[in-house]
Structure 1
Amino acid sequence: MAPNERATVNDSTARFGSPLLERVGVRPTGGTYLFGEPILTNKFTQEIRSSNQGSVAEWLAVVFYTHERTKLTQSIDRTGNAPNVTVFSGSSISSYAEKGAFADLTYHATEKFDGQGGIRYAAKGQYYRVLSVVDTPVQGVFGPGEDHLFTSKEDAIIWLLTPTYLYTHDLMPHLRGASGYRADGPNSNTPGVAPSFRSDTVMNYEAGIMGKLLAKASVF
């Protein structure tokens, strides 16, 4: 897929000029501060499906892969009467990749009893890097430069099982069991630092009756 790029450059002298020039010991005398913020995103996604609809069984099988990379660059450049210099430059680079497969099967055991089952497997990897370079005289404004890497790598399996029984055309008891999963996010690689983001899981069980009353005018 072709990259998606967006770039902006703004005159931010009113916002950055006075405090920055005061930090370096120069009063504002016409210098211009340009704030640039280009963003570049590349994304690729591919999915392959196969399915079958029969009188006894219906199934669907899917494999997929996706990869996305985004880079945000920020810079503040001083131009004009003051000496030209990049007083701040920084970038945030993130990458996300996921691959997996899932399948669903519905089996019509009899005219009244159906069973549906599904399973999904996915593995994902993610990283996020923050890198900045700050001119020494203005570190009091932006702080010192930094270079931090945050990563995450996980895989998970979730499932679904739903048997249903058509007691009559207006009454159908059913059961449902399913698991769920929410992925974590990038965490610091610093030894001794607890993860900021953790994955979590959930189990869900249901039992109920669906039906129609009053000549199908009411549904429950």
Structure 2
Amino acid sequence: PLFDPRVFRSPRLRATSLGLTTGFFGLFALFFVNSQYLQEVKGYEPAVTGLAIVPLITGMAVVPKLAARWSAHPRPVIGGGLALIGLGLLGASTVDAGTPYAVYACWLLVISAGTGLSMPALTLGVVTSLPHHQAGLGSGLGTSAREIGAALGVAVTGTVLAGHTGFTAGMGPALRTVAALVLAATALVVTGLREPSRPAPTTTDARPPVREP
């Protein structure tokens, strides 16, 4: 009774919810293989691995401040950010034991920049697609979209890895699969943001109003 599914009549709400799911789908696919690649394939110690993922944090910290300048144009910001996540995953799928860390760090920066670019606009898009008194519902929908995306990212990546004889052999195909799905979903998100947005319906009393005599 707390959730009215009619809110998804809003194209903007559908698109931004899918965008959040897509972004976290790609991000958690990377999280699933990132430390394994750095420690098992590259041979880094845990402390060095922690330092090696700093580029993944940098973009998320810096880019949102730049993205705020284009807040009046959410469609290219969201589409560009999600596309960067997909392209970064494609790039990361090409690495192996002999890949220099600097190359891998560049792909981490691309993914983190895409995340920092798209996530604030997507979060704002979900919340503002609903009336003010349903802001809590919008926040809950955004959180649910992130959790679903994270779970699917781990599930798809793990499934592809399990189909290969070793981690090194499976990492590339897993990330390529996720990247293809991210880019396909990005096209759907951008298309959805193109449609005219309608205000989401609110739950109201269905009885006709009583007129004063």
TM-score (structure 1 length as normaliser)? 0.24
Higher strand share: 1
Q: Which has the higher contact order (CA 8 A, sep 6+)?
A: 2
TM-score (structure 2 length as normaliser)? 0.25
